[in-house]
Amino acid sequence: MTNKSSSPTSNNAAQVSGGEAVVEVLKAHGVEVIFGLCGDTSLPFYDALARLPHGMRHVLTRDERSAAYMADGYARVSGKVGVCEGPSGGGATYILPGLVEANESSVPVLGITSDISVSSRGKFTLTELDQGALMKPLTKWNAVLNRAEDIPRTFRAAFNAMTTGRPGAAHIALPFDVQNGAVDRADLWADPSLGVYPSRRTGPDPMYVEMAVKLLRAAKKPVFICGGGVVISGGEAELIEVAEHLSAPVATTISGQGTISDDHPLAVGVVGSNGGVPETRAVVQGADLVVFVGCRAGSVTTERWRYPTPGQVKVIHIDVDPQVVGAIYRVDVPLVGDAKLTLAALSQGLSDGPAGAKRALDNAAVEKAKREKFARFDALANENATPIKPERVVAALARTLDPDAIVVADPGTPCPYFSAYFPIRGTGRRFFSNRAHGALGYSMSAAVGAHFGRPGVKCVSVMGDGSFGFTSGELETIVRHRLPITFIVISNAVYGWIKAGQKSGYDGRYFSVDFTRTDHAAVASAYGVKSWQVRDPNALDDVLKQALAYAGPTLVDIHCQPLHEAHAPVSEWVA
């Protein structure tokens, strides 16, 4: 299926400028929102955006990194390619962290950066740098254009790369003179199915499906560990069918949350060193077969490749990327393919024949793990201590927030607590964090993108005060668009993750991790955000209800117990 664009804008109706071609090709791929920041090398592109009746929305940001994080959040919840843009030089270096995070998280984000003219290269031109070399190792696909006539096919190739196979980020550099060059209007076509992901799915080898079915039937205690690949592929229903057929517990990584509703009787919760607890680890250790689905089995998920114990459990590994399967654990059955298609094939295989009867539900181990895990959590969440315990914040938000809402957590204090204890009531992308690289300053901007991607639901951003310092300038963007997002700041005046590591691994030799406490409510109020500061735990529920009900942007600044004094679900600190 193709979509021919029209809107003659040049003197020659058969041709358009390079900047106009970019706008038309983005529109043809179904792009709805562009997040970005202006620069002088971007002027032809911006002029085309200003003149053409493209119907896309441009969100002006205050930082290129924020633009990329917004595109990331948009793509995660919308199922569409996120698009961000920025100028040459510093703009290209600033936009890079967001592209890296998206690429490693298998999120299709297109970063467009303008550049100096091709004719100005090698002349010590202001903002000149080798954008191709900069972006190549950190994106799935990358191009620096030299001719305007190459714009349409280059953008088509980028969308193809981003949404097929393992999704990822792409980068295209647009030199100034390329934006002003001529492009044949007849070449401005696209396949809009490549604007959503995953596109052009690939299925598994039937021989390996048959082998996996035999192994699953023979297993007495199979356990599924699901990464982000299940949600990315939309394979939640197929996963639940297979798990229920086998009465197999389903654990997830942080990125895999939303694979199964937390109130499902087979849902274990998050496992691993960040958000996992001894009780959920015990479920994994009790398995005789582990099925990794859309999961790389990396250091966090497996607590540095210890759980499941290598060599002591059979393994089936499902992933769309053949380089992932068997990279860490010895695999008994490799299944390379889209998670949805692969799980559907397994479900069909398990149901076929006389041995296809479903097993009776046996979730005693899961129920025991949940009961013990939340008994400890509830005891801390009900304390009236000050500073307020992080558990109290999680419990209060869980009581007041609609189940369909989206929660975006920054690393640091929010990520382990919310991934471990915040209930995901339903499937799909309702909670996410930047787990690939864990850079601070992600949550606020990603929540903006999530709002544009799913405007009908409430978005909540939870961050530490360290992250707030990275990203507070975007409050102006949020107020300008009057976005009804609620921001929660866990305020404890410390880079808490590092201080907790110094306590557990270096005998409490704290060095250069503490800073002055900021009145985040006052800062946000100065931008025009309706804000509260909470120090009394008994006031927390009422303030959160007010903040969530308000029609515009809100911020709640909560004075919280620092991580090095808390009982965070992080295995290396517990040990």
Check whether residue 435 and residue 510 sit in a common domain.
yes
Beta carbons of 288 and 320 less than 8 angstroms apart: no
Q: Are residues 391 and 445 in the same domain?
A: yes
- Number of domains comprising the chain: 3
Look at residue 54 and tell me whether its pLDDT is greater than 70. yes
Does a structural domain hold residue 296?
A: yes
What single-letter DSSP state applies at residue 195? G
Q: Count each helix (H run) and each strand (E run) in the chain, helices first.
A: 22, 22
452 within some domain: yes
Helix (H, G, I), strand (E, B) or coil at 251: strand
As a whole number of angstroms, the distance between CA 378 and CA 367 comes to: 16
DSSP secondary structure string for all residues of 436-456? TT--TT-HHHHHHHHHHHSTT
In whole numbers, what is the pLDDT of the chain averaged over residues? 96
The stretch 285-290 carries a mean pLDDT of 97
Q: Is residue 77 a part of any domain in this protein?
A: yes
> Phi and psi for 411 in degrees, rounded to 5?
-65, 180
Question: Is 396 found in the same domain as 355?
Answer: no
Helices (H), 79-146: 90-104, 131-135
Residue 91 φ then ψ, to 5°: -60, -40
- The predicted structure's pLDDT at residue 10: 46
Q: In which band, very low, low, confident or very high, does the pLDDT at 1 lie, cut at 50, 70 and 90?
A: very low
Sheet containing strand 82-86, strands side by side: 57-60, 33-36, 82-86, 109-115, 170-175, 141-144
Residues 418 and 544 in one domain: yes
Q: What is the pLDDT of residue 2?
A: 44
Closest Cα to residue 143, out of 110, 121, 191, 168?
110
Domain hosting residue 68, numbered range: 3-195
CA 507 to chain centre: 34
Dihedral sign for Cα 332, 337, 343, 349, please. Answer: negative
* CATH code assigned at 268: 3.40.50.1220
If one counts every other C-beta atom within 10 angstroms of the C-beta of residue 412, the result is: 28
Lowest mean pLDDT among 12-16, 25-29, 61-65: 12-16
Regarding whether 350 and 389 lie in a shared domain, the answer is no
Q: Report if residue 318 sits inside a domain.
A: yes
Q: Are residues 225 and 257 in the same domain?
A: yes
pLDDT tens-digit readout, 362-413: 999 999 999 999 999 999 999 999 999 999 999 999 999 999 999 999 998 9
Question: pTM for this structure?
Answer: 0.96
- Measured between alpha carbons, how far is 206 from 194 in angstroms, rounded to an integer? 27
d(CA 7, CA 16): 9
